[in-house]
Structure 1
């Protein structure tokens, strides 16, 4: 049976199944800690806010302690899963250039399925909640969201013949993620109120099984595997790919001009600092919404999560429109960073549902996924746990303040990068196809074959 070169169904079902449970994870942890610390059932209300149920000082202290415990739980989860996820991601991405893209898609799908089934088991049998930390560690051994999206976008890049086709198809993936994740997020609140936590986890697991079967048996590979030698001394394909990747990065930095290397380092600083600030702040959104004075119900949390997913839709429409009208890419990035600063600042002072939605809309206009995600979540969890009793909105002011770093660096890039585009177009002997002694010497090396 001939396979299909369509990765879009994989991304669509993965987005739906992931965002079907994403808003529920912190809510489940929050409710379990509430039951453990108060020995009472979690207060559920049909009103827009649960703060009207009980305004006593005892009730407020319970909220603060549950907030602290839930934040620390998320911190422990990230700490135990960060290093394995980064190592596996590095190995899979390096291997995919030669061994095929499907492994970077299938492995994270397996990890996500393990994570979802673990949550279902803990929820159904009411097991110790700290078992979820072990399940997070186990699922991280299969890569993460960054691995999956990186594999899907690389899969698209392999199929496209020109940059325009590549850009439009990748933007289409973003739009698809926005649509499916938005539908899933809105339905989570109603799903939770009608059927509890177990059925959303079951539905998500079934979708993940379906997409896994499609990826394994129907999705066609885009990279033809290079023949491997039987000699043990040749080394594994993973080592060969990893060495090639390191060597390629080395050649890129040593062969480029000083100005190009400066701009490249600054762009990397913009990417990582912005991801650290944005992802760290957005990861605390659900806990903040559960806390006073908002005290959102599961319905409102679902709508808030759906609103945050509109970033994928706005990115498709905005980038396409700005590119068509010739707006410089630096200006587009600048607008994204400023929107996040405004959104996080509004969220920090939000005392009403309307202002919270407005802040979330600003905050979701830009989104980046990078290897710093896990680190930022861990740091912001620890800061939130330490400041929740003092001022719960401080974490968002910190996020807004950190965004000044990429904002400043972006200005530096715009100042010194005027002539870089012309310089890049010129053929560079160090990066061209010309042979050099190092490459000739290692041309037949088993580690580079």
Structure 2
């Protein structure tokens, strides 16, 4: 059977299933908390959710918003440490044992999680059963591990000139399939309830596992003799040393360069992940009061953001330096956040996505800049570190932004978006330093040896 040397279908199926599943499970939890707090069923009226603006019901709506926000925060915190540790281990191991196993494990974890969601909806279990299933799924690495393995695979098969475009293409696949999953989830949920969408998500995850096992071609493999010579403890120490030596080897300028790139990436992810994670709650709240169709349509407009971000990276790479491309993306995101903080109508909320059209450009460009700074044999360790930093940023941002949103939802629900815009001062300042402080030579940084990059 002929195998395919492409990781994009794996990312596409994974994101399609899990983006749809994430949006559906958020609404399931929200409705469950609504029914428990108000002792009434969740009823929709046309294009409006069960969201009222009169004084007798609105206080209960705010309580539901606060409890839902904190529930999502605790759920994100519960999966952080298992996912962090497993991602670090898998990323380093994949440099020697190949990427195939380490895109398979997160897909198995996603299947377990989707089956737990299906069982919860079918048997009407408590929403708190999501915690053990989510923790178990994170022990398989979760999205950060698949993310690290996928980008490391792209770095393996791409030249330095191709990395910007290939990584932007992978981000575009992520965005397009996520948009399709988000848009379809609303219509599917409205037409069939919760059980059939959860079953469909599980079947897509199963199809992804079948593709990985039978159709995905491995790229990097370690010989059997080499595998037998290295013990697990020695290998684990080597993985940790690969990450630590990033900051202890090479010249001072190169270390500053890598450190600033990581700082810019993690702080921008902190702001963006925190703000985007609040969109569903914000849209369910007054005065928008969106239903599942509008929520899915709003999330699907991110498809256009990913498409234009990919086009922007592709075009700008021929005319602008990488730092300027990243800056355009950050300012696009800041503009969208300022508009979102004052969005009180459906039209304005869709215009937020229009202003943010280039908001995803910084990620592929910053990853490409980091990838060019290390040896080809260390791409897995590098992207494991990047994935862990983004996972850490996502967890911290979830904690901060959900607490801030819960505290300010009664006074000014859009405050969290202004906070995200203000946090972008850090990556913008970092880029200014990078513009003036750059390595004297464009050469790879050795993580383990002192050999020159060929």
TM-score, structure 1 normalization: 0.88
- CA root-mean-square deviation: 2.4
Cα shift at 1:177:
2.7
Structure 2 residue aligned with 1:39: 39
The corresponding residue for 1:441 is none
Residues 362 and 228 of structure 1, relative CA distance in 2, 3 Å threshold: farther
Match of 1:341 in 2: 334
- CA contact 1:115–1:136 (8 Å) conserved in 2: yes
Q: Among residues 262, 283, 288, which one is paired with 2:256 in the alignment?
A: 262
Mapping of 1:58-97 within 5 angstroms? 58-97=56-95
Per-residue CA deviation, residues 392-426 of structure 1 (Å, 9 max, x unaligned), is 21211111111111112211221223xx2x42349
Identify the match of residue 213 of structure 2 among 204, 213, 216: 216
- Using the alignment, how far apart are the partners of 1:4 and 1:363 within structure 2? 35
Aligned to 1:187: 184
Is the radius of gyration larger for structure 1 or structure 2?
Answer: 1
Aligned pairs, number: 424
Assess, with a 3 A threshold, how the Cα gap between structure 1 residues 248 and 430 changes in structure 2: closer, same or farther. Answer: closer
Q: Give, in angstroms, the shift of residue 26 of structure 1.
A: 1.3
Which residue is equivalent to 2:367? none
* Residues 316 and 325 in structure 2, CA contact (< 8 A), matched pair in contact too: yes
Question: Could you say which residue in structure 1 is the equivalent of 2:138?
Answer: 140
Paired residues for 1:392-403 under 5 Å = 392-403=413-424
* 1:433 and 2:451 matched: yes
The runs of 5 or more residues in structure 2 that have no matched partner are: 364-386
1:310 touches 1:365 (CA, 8 Å); kept in 2? no
Match of 2:295 in 1: 301
Alignment partner, residue 379 of structure 1: 400
Q: How does 1:46-445 map to 2 (within 5 A)?
A: 46-48=46-48, 51=51, 54-160=52-158, 162-227=159-224, 235-236=231-232, 239-324=233-318, 326-363=319-356, 365-367=358-360, 368=363, 370-371=390-391, 372-417=393-438, 420=439, 422-425=440-443, 432-433=450-451
Contact residue 21 and residue 198 of structure 2 kept, 8 A: yes
Q: For residues 71-126 of structure 1, what are the alpha-carbon distances to aligned partners after superposition, in whole Å with 9 as ceiling and x for unaligned?
A: 11111101111111101111111111112211220111011111111111111111
**Aligned 8 A contact 1:172 1:316 in 2:** yes
Q: Which moved more, 1:306-315 or 1:36-45?
A: 306-315
TM-fit CA distance, 1:377? 1.3
SS of aligned partner of 2:187? helix
- How far residue 62 of structure 1 moved from its aligned partner, in angstroms, is 1.3
Corresponding residue SS for 1:265: helix
CA distance in 2, matches of 1:87, 1:254: 22
Summarize deviations over 1:346-387 as a string: whole Å, max 9, x none: 111110111111113334633346232122212222222222
Q: Check whether the contact 1:97–1:241 (CA below 8 A) recurs between aligned residues.
A: no
**Which residues of structure 1 form unaligned runs of 5+?**
435-449
How far off is 1:230 after superposition? 9.0
Secondary structure (helix, strand or coil) at the match of 1:411 reads: helix
Report the counterpart of residue 3 of structure 2 in structure 1. Answer: 3
Cα distance in 2 between the residues matched to 1:284 and 1:31: 16
Structure 2 CA distance for aligned equivalents of residues 397 and 294 of structure 1: 18
Q: Is the aligned partner of 1:26 residue 2:22?
A: no
